[in-house]
Amino acid sequence: MPGVGLAARSFAIAEALDHPVYDCCYLALAELRQTKLVTADKRLLDRLVETSWAQRAASVYDRESIV
């Protein structure tokens, strides 16, 4: 069941980042799909700085980092 793996990964990311799991679901999905999460959530983006997920997310306000 694919959703179970995604949920487990979301919880693992949330725990690692000390961030709400509902935000980390999007990050886990981007990781699974090997794409970027584009978000306006500055708090989440700040949590990702200097982590392995930093390259997996981009600010909606930063066009250059989206590509």
Q: How far apart are CA 23 and CA 30, in angstroms?
A: 11
SS3 content of the chain, % helix, strand, coil (to 5): 65, 10, 25
**Residue ranges in the chain whose pLDDT is less than 50:** 1
20-24 long-range contacts (CB < 8 A, ≥24 apart) are none
pLDDT score for 58: 94
Q: Give the Cβ contact number of residue 36 at 10 Å.
A: 16
Q: How far apart are CA 13 and CA 23, in angstroms?
A: 10
pLDDT score for 63: 75
pLDDT score for 62: 85
pLDDT score for 67: 61
